[in-house]
RNA sequence: GGCCCCAUGGUCAAGAGGUUAAGACACGGCCCUUUCAAGGCUGUAACAGGGGUUCGAAUCCCCUUGGGGUCACCA
């Protein structure tokens, strides 16, 4: 029987979920779910100096929001608990000591100062620094002595000096490096906690992780991990290294440079589903031309073999398109619910039917945050440039706009049932009677009642929204202003 | 700089020896139309360069160039 697929998302709690991280989580989730496997959350907090308050909550919240529920983790428990590395601190040291006994690791008492000196020395000579294995030459007695004296120490992995190490990656294939390039990396820090490089191997093994998924920035350290598995005699997991997500200019996404985090995107008005859909396609492609995927569709379609190797640029423009697609695909009620917070903030005119506004807005909204800028005219009629009335394509001028508005008023005044259907019928009948083009009537009306050159919705929808009284009031203002302008123009 | 990885339009990408080199975003045009959108149709645009291998190369190999990653008691 095949081993059950188990992937783990192992973030360090920095309080910031950047897009690359989120995509890694997504792919781990998809790899597991596409094969009926388990998705595990493990918190890698072995760096005590970088702990951030509340950061773990950000991780829980994001996974939940995205619908990527983990099967095991600190909050939900599981057979391999605990799932927080700082709570597992005692499990690592014995493994490190086992490696020392087997001759794959050794104690190192070098001070930070000595290391720094070595490093800057190498730097000044323009050489690459690599630990000089100073402590490898210590005799067992010396080591015993130092340990007894309580001297601080770390445990280093002893790399082979000759030969090469090869490992297989599910997306990058076979990769070989010279062992002489491998540094004797630290496995156990002087504070007794493991480094990521060590903890990660131990935990992945203990937690029976079958697919180790991570960004390609770990590609060059993978041989070291491989050596560790071999030293322990453990089964090597399937490595799945993911291509980086970069900025349009090709550089790496970073918090420091203010690149948008998942949370930022949400605040910018992007929908969770659209973000997930978009990043799923950054580095992976389905074997069909389908572009719109729900999470559960992704779970079915995802396949490791279709992950690409080259880095992909995060394109806001395309995300925007996905977002617009998701917005348009929503039911009116669903859109209303999403839009409501933006609407209530932007529309102070309480007589406006927000549901109707949504109907106009839905196809015209790409991101939620742009809603307020589209509806201001509903609150009040601002002063506007009369030249808006003059529209070549609509064949309107100040004069015929004035005519149309005057004619419209007489018709509108008589309407008792103020709704779109009635407005449509009466106004178009009037157009026919006057023998003019639709635009010559409707453009001036829309202009008069909005004062804007561009609005969501046309004359009829907006008149309906504003109500009879306000519509007539605004039209009369238009008539008044146009009369003065025309008179002045003729004088 | 050493080592590793990558290379198809501006961007995401399909392609795994023989294709008119898909599709999507963006951009342009046309249609629809009471503005703007949405929708429909349509156009511009790519195999980084050079050598091989082969009857035949975007696909395989090598070199060059370009880009990226990594070289911590960080993950």
pLDDT in tens, A346-387: 999 999 999 999 999 999 999 999 999 999 999 999 999 999
For residue A2, the model assigns a pLDDT of: 65
For residue A249, the model assigns a pLDDT of: 83
Secondary structure of A447-464 as H, E, C letters: HHHHCCCCCCCCHHHHHH
Mean pLDDT of A184-209: 96
> Which bases of chain B come closer than 7 Å to a protein CB?
1-8, 10-16, 22-26, 33-39, 67-75
Q: Give the closest residue to A98 by CA, choosing from A239, A238, A234, A235.
A: A234
Q: Is the CB of A367 under 7 A from strand B?
A: no
Residues 377-436/A with CB < 7 A to strand B: 393-394, 424
Is A255-329 a domain of CATH 1.10.1160.10? yes
- Distance from C-alpha of A176 to C-alpha of A224, rounded to nearest angstrom: 11
Residues 245-274/A with CB < 7 A to strand B: 246, 248, 250-252
A155-177 per-position pLDDT tens digit: 999 999 999 999 999 999 999 99
> Could you say which DSSP state residue A136 is in?
G
Give yes or no for a contact between A306 and A404, defined as CB atoms under 8 angstroms apart.
no
Q: Is the CB of A332 under 7 A from strand B?
A: no
Q: Is the CB of A454 under 7 A from strand B?
A: yes
B24: residue with closest CA to C1': A291
pLDDT at residue A1 tops 60: no
Residues 281-320/A with CB < 7 A to strand B: 281-285, 287, 289, 291, 305-306, 308-313, 315, 317-318, 320
3-state SS assignment for residue A249: coil
For residue A259, the model assigns a pLDDT of: 82
Mean pLDDT of A50-77: 94
Which residues are paired to A312 by β-bridges? A245
For tokens 């201001």, the residue is A376
Q: Closest nucleotide to residue A286 (Cα to C1')?
A: B14
Q: Give the closest residue to A449 by CA, choosing from A464, A434, A435, A436.
A: A464
Q: Give the closest residue to A92 by CA, choosing from A193, A231, A170, A171.
A: A193
Contacts of A211 (CB under 8 A, 6+ apart): A5, A6, A7, A28, A31, A32, A170, A237, A238, A239, A240, A304
Contacts of A226 (CB under 8 A, 6+ apart): A165, A167, A236
Q: What is the edge-to-edge ordering of all strands in the sheet holding A238-242? A: A38-41, A6-9, A211-215, A238-242, A164-169, A173-178
**CATH architecture of residue range(s) A84-199:** Alpha-Beta Complex (3.90)
Q: Separation of CA A252 and C1' B64 in angstroms?
A: 26
Q: Separation of CA A304 and C1' B5 in angstroms?
A: 18
Mean pLDDT of A422-429: 97
Look at the domain A381-490 and name its fold. Answer: Arc Repressor Mutant, subunit A (1.10.10)
For residue A209, the model assigns a pLDDT of: 98
Mean pLDDT of A310-333: 97
- Distance from C-alpha of A335 to C-alpha of A366, rounded to nearest angstrom: 12
Give yes or no for a contact between A190 and A217, defined as CB atoms under 8 angstroms apart.
no
Ramachandran sector of residue A54 (left: φ over 0; alpha: ψ -120 to 50; beta: rest): left
Q: Separation of CA A239 and C1' B24 in angstroms?
A: 30
> Could you say which DSSP state residue A234 is in?
P
Q: Is the CB of A443 under 7 A from strand B?
A: yes
Mean pLDDT of A144-164: 95
**Averaged pLDDT of chain A:** 95
B13: residue with closest CA to C1': A285
Q: Is the CB of A152 under 7 A from strand B?
A: yes
- How would DSSP label each residue in A374-414? HHGGGT------GGGG-BTTTTB-HHHHHHHHHHHHHHHHT
Q: Separation of CA A334 and C1' B25 in angstroms?
A: 25
Q: Closest nucleotide to residue A122 (Cα to C1')?
A: B1
Residues 76-115/A with CB < 7 A to strand B: 110-112, 115
- Distance from C-alpha of A270 to C-alpha of A368, rounded to nearest angstrom: 7
- Distance from C-alpha of A213 to C-alpha of A2, rounded to nearest angstrom: 19
A200-239 per-position pLDDT tens digit: 999 999 999 999 999 999 999 999 999 999 999 999 999 9
Within a 10 A sphere around the Cβ of A484, how many other Cβ atoms? Answer: 11
Q: Give the closest residue to A56 by CA, choosing from A41, A34, A38.
A: A41
For residue A15, the model assigns a pLDDT of: 84
Q: Separation of CA A235 and C1' B13 in angstroms?
A: 35
A11-56 per-position pLDDT tens digit: 999 888 999 999 999 999 999 999 999 999 999 998 877 878 889 9
Give yes or no for a contact between A451 and A382, defined as CB atoms under 8 angstroms apart.
yes
- Domain definitions of chain A by residue range: 84-199, 255-329, 330-374, 381-490
Work out the angle at residue A362's Cα, subtended by the Cα atoms of residues A358 and A368, and round it to the nearest 5 degrees: 90
Q: Is the CB of A189 under 7 A from strand B?
A: yes
Q: Separation of CA A256 and C1' B15 in angstroms?
A: 38
For residue A32, the model assigns a pLDDT of: 98
Q: For A177, list phi and psi in degrees, rounded to 5.
A: -130, 155
Contacts of A183 (CB under 8 A, 6+ apart): A130, A131, A159
Q: Closest nucleotide to residue A458 (Cα to C1')?
A: B34
Local confidence band at A253 (pLDDT 50, 70, 90 cut-offs) = confident
pLDDT at residue A83 tops 60: yes
Q: Separation of CA A33 and C1' B66 in angstroms?
A: 38
Q: Is the CB of A169 under 7 A from strand B?
A: no
Give yes or no for a contact between A23 and A283, defined as CB atoms under 8 angstroms apart.
yes
Q: Closest nucleotide to residue A183 (Cα to C1')?
A: B71
For residue A128, the model assigns a pLDDT of: 85
Q: Separation of CA A318 and C1' B26 in angstroms?
A: 8
For residue A214, the model assigns a pLDDT of: 97
Residues 32-61/A with CB < 7 A to strand B: 44, 46-47, 49-50
Helix (H) or strand (E) holding A213: strand A211-215
Local confidence band at A4 (pLDDT 50, 70, 90 cut-offs) = very high
For residue A491, the model assigns a pLDDT of: 59
pLDDT at residue A5 tops 60: yes
A94-139 per-position pLDDT tens digit: 999 999 999 999 999 999 999 999 999 888 888 888 999 999 999 9
For the entire predicted model, the pTM comes to 0.95
- Tell me what percent of the residues of chain A surpass a pLDDT of 90: 91
- Distance from C-alpha of A465 to C-alpha of A272, rounded to nearest angstrom: 31
Give yes or no for a contact between A357 and A378, defined as CB atoms under 8 angstroms apart.
yes
Q: Separation of CA A286 and C1' B70 in angstroms?
A: 30
Catalytic residues of A: 255
Domains A84-199 and A381-490 share a fold: no
- The tokens of A24 are what? 């890694």
Q: Closest nucleotide to residue A282 (Cα to C1')?
A: B12
Contacts of A89 (CB under 8 A, 6+ apart): A192, A193, A194
């Amino acid at each position: 029987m095949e081993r059950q697929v188990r992937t783990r998302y192992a973030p360090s709690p920095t309080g910031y979920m950047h897009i690359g991280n989120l995509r890694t989580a997504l792919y781990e989730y998809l790899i597991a779910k596409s094969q009926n496997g388990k998705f595990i959350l493990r918190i890698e907090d072995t760096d005590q100096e970088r702990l951030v308050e509340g950061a773990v909550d950000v991780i829980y919240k994001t996974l939940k929001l995205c619908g990527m529920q983990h099967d095991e983790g600190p909050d939900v428990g599981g057979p391999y608990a605990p799932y927080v590395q700082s709570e597992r601190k005692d499990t690592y040291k014995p493994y490190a000591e086992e490696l020392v006994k087997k001759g794959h690791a050794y104690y190192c008492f070098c001070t930070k100062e000595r290391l720094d000196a070595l490093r800057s020395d190498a730097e000044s000579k323009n050489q690459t620094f690599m630990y000089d294995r100073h402590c490898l030459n210590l005799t067992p007695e010396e080591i015993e002595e130092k340990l007894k004296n309580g001297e601080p120490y770390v445990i280093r992995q002893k790399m082979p000096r000759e030969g090469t190490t090869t490992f297989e990656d599910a997306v990058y294939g076979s990769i070989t490096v010279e062992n002489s390039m491998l540094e004797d990396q630290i496995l156990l820090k002087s504070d007794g906690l493991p480094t990521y490089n060590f903890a990660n191997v131990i935990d992945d093994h203990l937690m029976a992780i079958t697919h180790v998924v991570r960004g390609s920035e770990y590609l060059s350290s993978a041989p070291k991990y491989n050596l560790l598995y071999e030293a322990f005699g453990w089964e090597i997991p399937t490595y799945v290294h993911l291509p980086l997500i970069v900025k349009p200019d090709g550089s790496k996404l970073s918090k420091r440079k203010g690149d948008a985090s998942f949370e930022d995107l949400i605040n910018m008005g992007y929908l969770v589903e659209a973000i997930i859909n978009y990043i799923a396609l950054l580095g992976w492609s389905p074997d069909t031309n389908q572009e719109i995927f729900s999470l559960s569709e992704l779970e079915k379609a995802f396949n490791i073999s279709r992950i690409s190797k080259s880095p992909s640029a995060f394109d806001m423009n395309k995300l925007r398109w996905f977002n617009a697609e998701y917005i348009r695909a929503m039911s009116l009620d669903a859109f209303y619910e999403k839009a409501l917070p933006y609407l209530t903030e932007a529309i102070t005119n309480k007589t406006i039917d927000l549901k109707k506004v949504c109907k106009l807005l839905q196809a015209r909204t790409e991101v939620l945050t742009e809603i307020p800028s589209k509806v201001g005219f509903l609150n009040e009629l601002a002063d506007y440039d009369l030249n808006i009335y003059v529209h070549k394509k609509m064949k309107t001028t100040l004069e015929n706009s004035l005519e149309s508005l005057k004619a419209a008023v007489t018709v509108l005044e008589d309407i008792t049932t103020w709704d779109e259907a009635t407005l449509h019928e009466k106004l178009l009948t009037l157009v026919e009677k006057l023998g003019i083009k639709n635009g010559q009537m409707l453009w001036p009306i829309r202009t008069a009642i909005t004062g804007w050159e561009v609005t969501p919705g046309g004359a009829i929808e907006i008149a309906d929204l504003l109500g009879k009284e306000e519509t007539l009031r605004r039209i009369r203002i238009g008539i008044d202003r146009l009369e003065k302008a025309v008179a002045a123009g003729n004088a």
